[in-house]
Structure 1
Amino acid sequence: MKFYLLLLKMFYSFLFFLNFITIYLSDNVLTQEWMKSNDVVYYGPKYVTEGQTFEIMCQMSKFKAPRWTKNELPTGESKRFSYTNKIGIEMTRIEVINVSNASAQDSGYYRCNSFSRSYHQISVITSEPIPNTEETSTTADILFNEIKEDYTTITLKCPLLYDTTQDTEFFWYKNNINIVNDERRTVEKTQLIIRNATSAVDAGDYMCRAETISQLGGSQFGQIIQLRAPIRIKPFTRSQNVMLGRPFTLQCNYTGYPVGKIHWLIGNEKISSIKLSELGIEIKPNTDSHPDAVLVVRNATQLHTNSYTCVVNNRFSEDERSVIITVRDRPVNGQSPLILAENRELILGCNYTDSEGRPVIISWKWSKDGINYEDFDEEDKKRMKIDERDHSLIISKGNKVDIGNWRCTNPSDEQQFLIIIVRAKPYLYPFEEFQKTNYKSANIIEGQKFELKCEIISDYNRDAGVMWYKYNENEHDHLNKEMQSIGKSERIQIKEFNVTSSLLTISKVIPSDRFYYVCIADNGVTTFNNTILLRVKDKLGALWPFLGIVAEVVILCTIIFIYEKRRIKPDFDDSDDNTEPKATQDRTSSKSQDVRQRK
Structure 2
Amino acid sequence: MFLPRTMPVLRSWAVTFVVIIFACVQISTAAKLVFEAEHGGDVARYKVIKKNVPLELKCNIDEPGFTITWQKDGEELKDYPVTTEPFKDGKETSILKILKPVDLDAGLYSCVAKNNATVEADGLKDSVQVVSLPTGSLEQDIIVVEGEKLTLDCQPTGIPTPKVTWYFMKDGNNTLNTSNERYKFLPHNNVTNAVLEIRDVQMSDRGEYRCVLANTATMFVGPDVTLKTNVRVKDKLAALWPFLGICAEVIVLCAIIFIYEKKRNKAELDESDTDNSPEQKNTPDHGKDSVRQRK
Normalised by the length of structure 1, the TM-score is 0.34
Would the alpha carbon gap of residues 513 and 425 (structure 1) be closer, same or farther in structure 2, given more than 3 Å must change?
same
Displacement of 1:369 in angstroms is: 4.9
What is aligned with 1:539? 236
Q: Map residues 98-113 of structure 1 onto 2, 5 A cutoff.
A: none
Going from structure 1 to structure 2, the CA distance change for 1:586 and 1:399 (only over 3 Å counts) comes to: closer
Q: 1:550 aligned to 240, 247, 252, which one?
A: 247
Describe how 1:370-519 pairs up with structure 2 within 5 A: 370-371=73-74, 375-376=76-77, 378=78, 380-381=79-80, 384-389=81-86, 390-408=93-111, 419-428=127-136, 439-453=139-153, 455-457=155-157, 460-471=158-169, 487-495=178-186, 500-502=191-193, 503-519=195-211
In 2, Cα distance between the equivalents of 1:368 and 1:539?
Answer: 59
Judge conservation of contact 1:471–1:483 (CA < 8 Å) in 2: yes
Is the 2:35–2:127 Cα contact (8 Å) retained in structure 1?
A: no
Residues 484-513 of structure 1: CA deviation (Å, up to 9, x unaligned): 665232222324589723342222211111
The structure-2 alpha-carbon separation of the partners of 1:573 and 1:595, relative to structure 1 and needing over 3 Å to count, comes to same
Q: Aligned pair 1:577/2:286, yes or no?
A: no
1:405–1:579 CA distance, 2 compared to 1 (3 A):
same
**For residue 559 of structure 1, what is the aligned residue in structure 2?**
256
Q: Which amino acid aligns with 2:200?
A: K
**CA 1:518/1:366 → structure 2, altered by over 3 Å: closer, same or farther?**
farther
Q: Quick one: distance in 1 between partners of 2:83 and 2:269?
A: 109
Bigger-Rg structure (1/2): 2
The residue identity in structure 2 corresponding to 1:423 is V
Q: For each residue in 1:37-66, what CA deviation from the matched residue of structure 2 results, as whole angstroms up to 9, or x when unmatched?
A: xxxxxxxxxxxxxxxxxxxxxxxxxxxxxx
Quick one: distance in 2 between partners of 1:467 and 1:545? 40
- For the 8 Å contact 2:154–2:211, the answer to whether it is kept is yes
Offset at residue 540 of structure 1 (A): 0.7
Alpha-carbon shift at residue 386 of structure 1 (Å): 2.3
Q: Within 1, Cα distance between the matches of 2:71 and 2:205?
A: 46
SS at match of 1:488: coil
Structure ranking higher in helix proportion: 2
Q: What is the number of residues matched between the two proteins?
A: 239
Give the residue type in structure 1 aligned to 2:132.
Answer: A
What is the alpha-carbon root mean square deviation over aligned residues?
4.1
Higher relative contact order (CA 8 A, sep 6+): 2
Measure the CA separation in 2 of the matches of 1:561 and 1:572. Answer: 17
Summarize the Cα distance change of 1:555–1:369 in structure 2 as closer, same or farther, 3 Å threshold: same
TM-superposed deviation, 1:427: 3.9
SS in 2 for 1:421: strand
8 Å CA contact 1:369, 1:406 repeated in 2: yes
Q: Describe the superposition over 1:522-546 as per-residue Cα deviations: whole angstroms up to 9, x where unpaired.
A: 2221455654432211011111111
The residue matched to 1:349 in structure 2 has which SS? strand
Residue aligning to 1:522: 214
Would you say the 8 A contact 2:149–2:197 is kept in 1?
A: yes
Alignment-mate amino acid for residue 338 of structure 1: K
Q: 1:445-490 deviations in whole A, cap 9, x for unaligned?
A: 2122223345545xx4424332222335x9xxxxxx7666652322
Aligned residue identity for 2:183: I
Gaps of 5+ in 2: 1-33, 87-92, 219-223
Q: Per-residue displacement from partner, 1:224-244 (whole Å, max 9, x unpaired)?
A: xxxxxxxxxxxxxxxxxxxxx
Secondary structure at 1:493 match in 2: strand
**Percent identical across equivalent pairs?**
29
Q: Which residue of 2 aligns with 1:212?
A: none
What is the correspondence of 1:204-283 to structure 2 with a 5 Å cutoff?
none
Provide the C-alpha distance between the structure 1 equivalents of 2:97 and 2:196, rounded to a whole number of angstroms: 42
Shift of the 491–401 alpha-carbon distance from structure 1 to 2, 3 Å rule, reads closer
